[in-house]
Amino acid sequence: MSISFSSSSSQLFFQKPFFSLQSNFQKQRVAGFWRRPQALRRHVIKAGAKKISFGTECRDALQTGIDKLADAVSLTLGPKGRNVVLSESEKLKVINDGVTIVQSIELSDTIENVGAMLIQEVAKKMNNLAGDGTTTAVILTREMIKGGLLAVAFGANPISLKKGMDRTVNELVKILKEKSLPVKGRNDIKAVASISAGNDEFIGNLIAEAIEKIGPDGVISIESSSSFETSVLVEEGLKFDKGYMSSHFITNQEKSLVEFDKAKVLVTDHKISTVREIVPLLEKITQLSIPLLIIAEDISKQVLETLVVNKKQGRNVVLSESEKLKVINDGVTIVQSIELSDTIENVGAMLIQEVAKKMNNLAGDGTTTAVILTREMIKGGLLAVAFGANPISLKKGMDRTVNELVKILKEKSLPVKGRNDIKAVASISAGNDEFIGNLIAEAIEKIGPDGVISIESSSSFETSVLVEEGLKFDKGYMSSHFITNQEKSLVEFDKAKVLVTDHKISTVREIVPLLEKITQLSIPLLIIAEDISKQVLETLVVNKKQGLLKVAVVKCPGFAEGKKAILQDIALMTGADFLSGDFGLTLESATSDQLGIARKVKITSNSTTIVADPSTKAEIQARILQIKKDLAETENANLSRKLSERIAKLCGGVAVIKVGAHTEVELEDRKLRIEDAKNATFAAMEEGVVPGGGATYVHLSEFIPSIKDSMEDLDEQIGADLVAKRARKRRKCQ
């Protein structure tokens, strides 16, 4: 054996003449060593069958293997234990941990390695039971085995020897339990952890801090930091290493997180293959209007897309979903509810699903027509390709034709004007249902063409339109102590001052001048801020309870740049100055003149509604025009949606259509009809209307010959002919 010490590092290097400390994890894993040590021993002995050993020779070899591992580990024992350098895949590792050293060693001699494996088994079991003390356990085991082998060599019965050892150890364990002292408080925990870490008080403090935060039954995980600092972070709840299956589920775009409060949870080890399996659950969740977390073995692409897009369920086609019939007449719902068993056929079906999805997203209606036209054009195109046409030229001809026809459509379309036009469009889209046409016309009449219409289930059989005034966003009061209407759990203010800032309010002194002025004026104050410290929040709550202030605090809505835009809208709507660092405006220098005013404020636990004061109407209209201009110039779908939402909020009204029905089937059908009517009406108000019933397609087909004549490529002309034939065929389908 050759051992060398480094005076500077107190590290131990074992040279190859003794044994190698090079890890052989792959070899061990292949042999299945970690899972079944007993099977390992049989494997090793069988592999070494060419060298048969017994008696004194066998005992000596076993003892040698035990000694080699125990010697390697014993140098780490105690507060002054030395480090050991392991070489693993040409990488050095400096350690002082008994179990790691033991498990990293495999001896070349078969019989010696069996002895080494006894030590490995002891170290593994001790580590599993206590997580520490493996070095002591290894040394004690070595000495007891050494004495036992010597006794057996002199004729002792090995079974009786072990029985005597076991009885003695069991009695000593009982005495240990009686003599042991409980670990109480942070200091005891710190002392135990420090000693176990080689008298490292820093580590002792870390462990004590962690246990203090999570309690004795919590879990501590150890991870590498991205910095040089070592710190303790506490994560509440049960955590496991699986994330969302689609980024479309994200609720916090800034942090790329899905965040739910009071969510329902579905837990299953099944794969969710079709939507029908979970339809009853989804219907109930929709009624309850609460978040849903699904934890499943797997989920099909069709189900995932359905959940992401939040598909509407439909009309006048009967779908069987989870032994429940649903009557629908809505193209996109029918298309998205179908999944074919044949893989290649399903690819074709998915093309149609994509068309329906895009049409629904763009216009909210007309998916059936889009699907039929797509089917016919693809059918004709595939036939043309089969006869030798160039598919790229065919598509180019189709695209050129369609683009020209769209231009003609825009020229021929008529604007939608007044209540009667709106009613007509909505009625036709809802299947000639005049009642729904009147509902949509009434809603738009109340909120204007830029407002928002939401559709909800009613608690009665009646269907009605309710209008909610004001700008509404999804942030509620930061403390229930701000509530003014205990019966409804609401904060309600009339003629309130409004502070709008993207700063965090860290200390009370930052807003003392404003609070003093508000107290003098004796009017309510709504604070909209990036965040607020616990100390400031408690101060405001105390003042509110004592009747000195009428105040409420909500956090800023939105994310990133979108957040600042919404805050600017709120500031404009209330006539407030937006106190932002970007404009060099601070809280400390703010005056009461920079506060806005709201005619009404209503705050729930998760939303805030602000009704503007009439004095800001002109500024609001100017901002709406500017946002409309931005909307017209953008091609980004996400930005377009956000700009539309801002316009709707600034318009100061949301119409809620409460849908009632006698049965659930009737309710779903009516809600879907109203949804289609709403979408079609807004699209018509934006782009105009043309004669229906397929007449427009026939009219457009008359322009195609002149479009075709402008094409020189024969295959492009075939593409134009395909569009013409399909347009005329669509007329016959009416």
DSSP string covering 535-549: HHHHHHHHHHHTTS-
Both 39 and 133 in one domain: the answer is: yes
pLDDT at 93: 57
pLDDT band for position 17 (cuts 50, 70, 90)? very low
Give yes or no for residue 23 having a pLDDT over 50.
Answer: no
Both 422 and 382 in one domain: the answer is: no
Work out the average pLDDT over 98-125.
78
Number of domains in the chain: 6
Cβ-in-10-Å burial (0-12, 13-18, 19+) of 167 comes to exposed
Both 435 and 503 in one domain: the answer is: no
pLDDT at 320: 38
Both 682 and 707 in one domain: the answer is: no
Record the tokens describing residue 116, joined without a space: 């080494």
Work out the average pLDDT over 540-546.
91
pLDDT tens per residue across span 594-629: 898 998 999 998 889 888 877 666 777 777 788 778
Give the domain CATH number at 251: 3.50.7.10
pLDDT tens per residue across span 445-457: 888 777 778 888 8
pLDDT band for position 492 (cuts 50, 70, 90)? very high
pLDDT tens per residue across span 346-381: 888 888 888 888 887 777 677 778 888 888 888 999
pLDDT at 6: 36
Asked if residue 86 is part of any domain, the answer here is yes
Asked if residue 659 is part of any domain, the answer here is yes
Average per-residue pLDDT in the chain?
78
Asked if residue 344 is part of any domain, the answer here is no
Asked if residue 160 is part of any domain, the answer here is yes
pLDDT band for position 554 (cuts 50, 70, 90)? very high
Asked if residue 233 is part of any domain, the answer here is yes
Give the domain CATH number at 701: 1.10.560.10
The 3-state DSSP class for residue 459 equals coil
pLDDT at 270: 87
Both 489 and 595 in one domain: the answer is: yes
Both 599 and 705 in one domain: the answer is: no
pLDDT at 398: 92
Both 191 and 316 in one domain: the answer is: no
The 3-state DSSP class for residue 450 equals coil
Asked if residue 358 is part of any domain, the answer here is no
Asked if residue 292 is part of any domain, the answer here is yes
Return all residues near 30 (Cβ < 8 A) that are at least 6 apart. Answer: none
Give yes or no for residue 21 having a pLDDT over 50.
Answer: no
Give yes or no for residue 47 having a pLDDT over 50.
Answer: no
Both 15 and 99 in one domain: the answer is: yes
Both 39 and 95 in one domain: the answer is: yes
pLDDT at 456: 86
pLDDT at 677: 87
Lowest mean pLDDT among 43-52, 221-230, 529-538, 609-618: 43-52
User: Which of these, 487, 498, 482, 442, lies nearest to 466 by C-alpha position?
Assistant: 442
pLDDT at 311: 33
Asked if residue 174 is part of any domain, the answer here is yes
Both 160 and 285 in one domain: the answer is: no
pLDDT tens per residue across span 630-674: 877 777 766 777 777 777 767 766 788 999 887 777 788 888 888
What is the Cα 125 distance to its own chain's centre? 39
pLDDT at 156: 87
pLDDT band for position 95 (cuts 50, 70, 90)? low
pLDDT at 14: 37
Record the tokens describing residue 286, joined without a space: 């929709």
Percent of the chain whose pLDDT exceeds 90: 15
pLDDT at 402: 92
Both 614 and 663 in one domain: the answer is: no
Compare 248 and 679 and report the one with higher pLDDT. 679
Both 593 and 574 in one domain: the answer is: yes
Q: How far apart are CA 649 and CA 255, in angstroms?
A: 25
Q: How far apart are CA 376 and CA 373, in angstroms?
A: 5
Question: Which range of residues forms the domain containing residue 264?
Answer: 247-336
pLDDT band for position 32 (cuts 50, 70, 90)? very low
Judge whether 389 and 718 are in contact, CB under 8 Å: yes
